[in-house]
Amino acid sequence: MKKQIIPALILILTLILTQTSCRGTDFFAYQKNNTDAPVTEAPQAVDTYIQQSQEGNNYDKVLSAEYYYYSLLDENDKQIYETILSGLLQEEKEIRINITDKDTINKLVNMVINDHPELFYIDYEGKYLYSYTIYDGYVILEPCYKYTGKKRIRKQKKIENTAAQIVSDISMLPAEYDRIKAVFEYIIDSTEYKSNVSDSQDIYSVLVNKKSVCAGYARTTQYLLQKLGIETIYIEGTVYTRGNHSWNIVKCNGRYYQLDTTFGEMEIQDMSESDLPDGMQYCYDYLCCTDRQMYKDRKANKIDKLPKCNSKDLDYYVLNGMYYKKYSDKVIKNMKKSIHSGELYWCCKFKTKKEYDKCLAKVQAGIYSDEVIKYLTGRRSVKTWYIYDEHMYTINCWYSKN
């Protein structure tokens, strides 16, 4: 995602590439790449999962929420998935699964982990997530845990206490889109993007430490939205200019949308926070957008088939009447209307690069400048800025009162 700002500089947080891994010796081990994204939790507390699994592996309630990767499996693989999940929830040192195909083992473990961000105590930052030994007809899986026992319980309580308040407040919002947007904004407001900090790959980093990278952002997004009853998929992939990255797909009103909380955060230098109008701290380009928009700068890893996100109805610019198929006088009229109504910032998005380029040229020529704002508002002194995104075809303009 390339953004430029004139005259202030906008810095999109740099994604730090890390690698996860567990202590393995003379057995097969699966090495997993770490990413920098938000972490999220599943709809039920870990204690509930453990209790249910101890009562005969009753997963009717455990897996009642729509866990996307689980829903893709046939009945046999679902049973193996459930065995792995039960073992992880109970911190078992060895989990026996009745398969021997290495690709299937890796796929199913990865699906469990990507469906369940509440498994924060797995050692994402170690050398391996797990190791395994293949025997005649079965495999012994040995997970690598970062926290166990009382230490894990203490951390779990901190996570749950924070999440409970967030979910309680956001659940009062009437629409699914409003709840998704609120989680998006909460994580951005409360979290500092910072690499080389502890627990950066899991939900604890966001909900408790308030410092994380993209894996932490994406898992927390998933965790909170799952608690709000919204199906959320954890995605791992690559941003072409940056490397490994994680983000989400969410299901809202029966349709799927792309969502990247990490890229929703922008840090603007050379300006005080008081100079920013409400909303300018968020980059809504990555809130409920389409595959066509999201995959301009990235690709997703091929774990399994992902749902298509092809609806633009929840695009922030579409919802707010800021999306245009063509550049015309209507764009300028809406800009002037925004300024006359007292709004401190104005933005627009275009369907094609050709039309976006036309508008950008006009902005660069001064249609939104200090002199124009002074003329339209009657103010004696103002200062204007604008930013543009050549991938999303968006332009954002704003001014402050000097």
Residue type present at position 179: R
User: Phi first, then psi: what are they for 220, rounded to 5°?
Assistant: -70, -40
402 residues of the chain, pLDDT tens digit each: 434 333 322 222 223 333 332 322 223 333 333 444 333 333 333 334 334 333 333 334 344 458 999 999 999 999 999 999 999 999 999 999 999 999 999 999 999 999 999 999 999 988 889 999 999 999 999 999 999 999 999 999 999 999 999 999 999 999 999 999 999 999 999 999 998 888 889 999 999 999 999 999 999 999 999 999 999 999 999 999 889 999 999 999 999 999 999 999 765 555 554 566 776 778 899 999 999 999 999 999 986 789 999 999 999 999 999 999 999 999 999 999 999 998 998 999 999 999 999 999 999 999 999 999 999 999 989 989 888 988 899 999 999 876
- Find out whether 202 and 39 touch, Cβ atoms under 8 Å: yes
| Cα-based angle 155, 158, 160 (whole degrees, multiple of 5) | 110
From the list 72, 87, 66, the residue with the least C-alpha distance to 143 is: 87
According to DSSP, residue 130 is labeled E
Other Cβ atoms less than 10 A from the Cβ of 272: the count is 8
Q: In whole angstroms, give the CA distance from residue 349 to residue 327.
A: 10
According to DSSP, residue 252 is labeled E
Instruction: Give residue 281's pLDDT.
Output: 79
Q: In whole angstroms, give the CA distance from residue 209 to residue 37.
A: 14
Q: Token pair 């779990």 is at which residue? A: 156
- 3-class DSSP state for residue 215? helix
Instruction: Give residue 400's pLDDT.
Output: 86
Residues 6+ positions from 256 with CB-CB distance below 8 Å: 249, 250, 307, 308, 309
* E-state strands within 122-191: 130-134, 139-143
Q: In whole angstroms, give the CA distance from residue 196 to residue 14.
A: 13
Instruction: Give residue 275's pLDDT.
Output: 66
DSSP string of 88-124? HHTT-S-EEES---HHHHHHHHHHHHHH-TT-TTB-T
Beta strands 394-401 and 382-389: pairing type?
A: antiparallel
- 3-class DSSP state for residue 214? helix
Residues paired with 51 in a beta bridge: none
Element (H, E) at 236: strand 232-239
Residues 6+ positions from 155 with CB-CB distance below 8 Å: 120, 121, 147, 204, 208
The model's pTM:
0.82
Other Cβ atoms less than 10 A from the Cβ of 81: the count is 23
Instruction: Give residue 268's pLDDT.
Output: 56
Q: In whole angstroms, give the CA distance from residue 231 to residue 118.
A: 15
